[in-house]
Amino acid sequence: MELIPHLFRTEYRKIIAVLCKRFGFDEIETAEDIASDTFMSATQTWGLQGIPEHPVAWLYTVAKNKARNFLHRQATFNNKVIPETALRENASTLPEYEIDLSPQNIIDSQLQMMFAICHPSIAPEAQIGLSLRILCGFGIEEIADAFLTKKETINKRLYRAKEKLREENIPIALPGMAEIDDRLAIVLATLYLLFSEGYYSISNNRTVRKELCFEAMRLCYMLVENKHTNKPPVNALLSLMCFHASRFEARLNRNGEMILYEEQDTTLWDADLISKGGYFLNQSATGTQLSRYHLEAAIAYWNTQKDDTKEKWENILQLYNQLLQIEYAPIAALNRTFALSKANGKEEAIIEAEKLNLTNNHFYYTLLGELYTGIDNTKAKQHFEKALSLAKTLTDKQTIEKKIDKI
DSSP letters for 20-60: HHHH-GGGHHHHHHHHHHHHHHHHHHHHHH---SSHHHHHH
Question: Is 199 within a domain?
Answer: yes
Do 124 and 186 fall within a single domain? Answer: yes
Predicted structure pTM score: 0.85
Do 50 and 168 fall within a single domain? Answer: no
Question: Is 238 within a domain?
Answer: no
Last residue of a domain, one of 86, 101, 116: 101
Per-residue pLDDT, 128: 85
Do 52 and 122 fall within a single domain? Answer: no
Per-residue pLDDT, 259: 81
Question: Is 60 within a domain?
Answer: yes
Amino acid at 327: E
Q: How far is CA 52 from the centre of its chain?
A: 33
Last residue of a domain, one of 209, 230, 251: 230
Do 68 and 150 fall within a single domain? Answer: no
Residue 227, SS3 per DSSP? coil
Question: Is 370 within a domain?
Answer: yes
Residue numbers of the domain that contains 133: 102-230
User: How many Cβ atoms are within 10 Å of 60's Cβ, its own excluded?
Assistant: 20
Do 205 and 313 fall within a single domain? Answer: no
Mean pLDDT (the chain, rounded)? 89
- Would you say 241 and 217 are in contact if contact means Cβ atoms under 8 Å apart? yes
Do 122 and 210 fall within a single domain? Answer: yes
Provide the b/e sequence for 239-258 (b: ≥16 CB within 10 Å): bbbbbbbbbbebbbeeeeeb
Question: Is 269 within a domain?
Answer: no
DSSP code of 117? H
Do 140 and 79 fall within a single domain? Answer: no
Ranges of residues in the chain with a pLDDT under 50 are 82, 87, 204-205, 207-208
Per-residue pLDDT, 261: 83
Per-residue pLDDT, 204: 46
Q: Which of 383, 360, 357 is nearest to 372 (CA)?
A: 383
Question: Is 286 within a domain?
Answer: no
Per-residue pLDDT, 205: 46
Per-residue pLDDT, 198: 80
Per-residue pLDDT, 288: 86
Give me the number of domains the chain comprises: 3
Do 97 and 204 fall within a single domain? Answer: no
